[in-house]
Amino acid sequence: MGGPAAHGGRIIVVPAPDQPPFAHVVYFEPRIPGNTGSAIRLAAVTGARLHLVEPLGFDLSEAKLKRAGLDYHDLAVMEVHPSLDAVLGALPDARVFAFSTRGTTAYTDVAYETGDVLLFGPEPTGLPEEVLAHPRVTDQLKIPMLPGRRSLNLTNSASIAVYEAWRQRGFDGA
């Protein structure tokens, strides 16, 4: 039976799908366990791979994380990395799209490719400037919102982006 397992300093939720992921969802220093649990569920139902960048604002054994992920934990692939550079080093050829309310390119204006990284910041602050300016960031993307609104929920934002990338790939595997 699958579940969290330590592997080379990272935690991987197994079993891994046989096919490579169409996208990598990266949560930079997530704070709310329920959002991460929902992201595990998102990864399980789409085939995207979830990466968490430490420090985490919760313990992976928290009940809220497990409750939000329901029984999908064994169907998702998730890795925990000690830094952003560690996760990007593990994905050396991937394009990196940082999602930000300050982005200038609409998430729908990108032609997504297999293996792209969709990078999201912590609740409630979003990605810090030093991450947005990282040399591996290909572009800063935005999800349109009405004026005067601060932000969408983290996993809602990730879901919008993941489904657009997957739609462009013809919903491979569905």
Q: In which residue are the tokens 């789409």 written? A: 46
**d(Cα 168, Cα 143) in Å, to the nearest integer?**
17
**d(Cα 78, Cα 72) in Å, to the nearest integer?**
11
CB atoms within 10 A of CB 23: 26
**d(Cα 49, Cα 34) in Å, to the nearest integer?**
18
The reply, when asked if residue 12 is annotated as ligand binding, is: no
| Residue in 13, 14, 28, 159 with CA at minimum distance from that of residue 81 | 28
Q: List the Cα angle 74/122/16 in 5-degree steps.
A: 20
The reply, when asked if residue 121 is annotated as ligand binding, is: yes
Amino acid, res. 12: I
Asked if residue 7 lies in contact with residue 100, where contact means CB atoms within 8 angstroms, the answer is: no
Residue positions forming the annotated binding site: 121, 143, 151
Residue positions forming the annotated binding site for S-adenosyl-L-methionine: 121, 143, 151
